[in-house]
Amino acid sequence: MAERKFDLVVFDWDGTLMDSTALIVASIQAACAEVGVAVPSREAAAHVIGLSLADAMLTIAPGVDEETCQKLVSAYRVHYLARDHELVLFDGAIDALEDLRARGYQLAVATGKARRGLSRVLEQSGLGRLFEATRCADESFSKPHPAMLLELMDELSVAPERTIMVGDTTHDLQMARHAGTASLAMTYGAHPVAALESEQPLALFGSMAQLREWFACHG
């Protein structure tokens, strides 16, 4: 096995570990229809995944006032929570995380989810035990600002050159670049492959099994 290059692996949640892109898109579209603002396309709704919920809604509906933004946020939560029990982790996600832990990596999460939402899915999935630390957009700056990564590295005493971010959006990869860390991209999530490639991650993967193999050989 190659000498390990990284000590900390930080994962995005939605679209990276959990297969939630379709539900997020549908919930954004339903919220917009309910509140009476223009309903975005699938591509436009998917593009804001990974941002904080308020930032996502302001991107989807630029120029709306604060009251309308809060109505969008509230409507989104109702639609999302009505079906979030249907969500599942991507194939191989648990095996990959457990394998990384067994190899001695520290694992963390940096997500656009709110703390309440992340706590709920960590409990439901049973994955909370695998992560040393987590950061959410409602307690830090939204991606692509580097704050969540910088805070995680500081908390776990890991240098940027020993940290790598795993995500499915350009927001994740830009956050990594701004924080001075390496990144890896998952191609089955919210953003198209060409957009991910433009951010020059170390590698792109179409499955968790491929990610796991990469770490065994290169990580």
For residue range 78-121, what is the model confidence (pLDDT) as tens digits?
A: 999 999 889 999 999 999 999 999 999 999 999 999 999 999 99
Strand partners, 167: 185
Q: Which residue stretches of the chain have pLDDT < 50? A: none
Q: Could you tell me the CA-to-CA distances from 76 to 29, 43, 87, 144 in Å, in that order?
A: 8, 17, 16, 22
What's the pTM?
0.92
What is d(CA 80, CA 120) in angstroms, rounded to the nearest whole number? 13
In sequence order, what are the residues at sequence separation of 6 or more whose Cβ sits closer than 8 angstroms to the Cβ of residue 113? 13, 14, 121, 136, 137
Class of domain 8-19+88-218: alpha beta
Residue type present at position 192? P
pLDDT digits (tens, 9 = 90+) for 163-180: 999 999 999 999 999 999
What is d(CA 147, CA 179) in angstroms, rounded to the nearest whole number? 8
Can 12 be counted among the known catalytic residues? Answer: yes
Q: Could you tell me the CA-to-CA distances from 73 to 40, 91, 136, 137, 206 in Å, in that order?
A: 15, 30, 16, 14, 31
In sequence order, what are the residues at sequence separation of 6 or more whose Cβ sits closer than 8 angstroms to the Cβ of residue 72? 31, 32, 35, 37, 57, 60, 61, 64
Helical residues (DSSP H) of the chain, grouped into ranges: 21-35, 42-47, 53-60, 66-81, 93-102, 115-125, 147-156, 170-179, 193-198, 208-218
Q: Which of 12, 55, 84, 172 is catalytic?
A: 12
Structure token pair of residue 219: 């990580």
Domain 21-85 grouped into CATH 1.10.150: yes
Q: Which of 7, 14, 55, 65 is catalytic?
A: 14
8-19+88-218 and 21-85: identical CATH topology: no
Can 14 be counted among the known catalytic residues? Answer: yes
- In this structure, the number of other CB atoms found within 10 A of the CB of residue 124 comes to 12
Q: What is the pLDDT of residue 10?
A: 98
In sequence order, what are the residues at sequence separation of 6 or more whose Cβ sits closer than 8 angstroms to the Cβ of residue 60? 28, 32, 37, 40, 44, 45, 48, 72
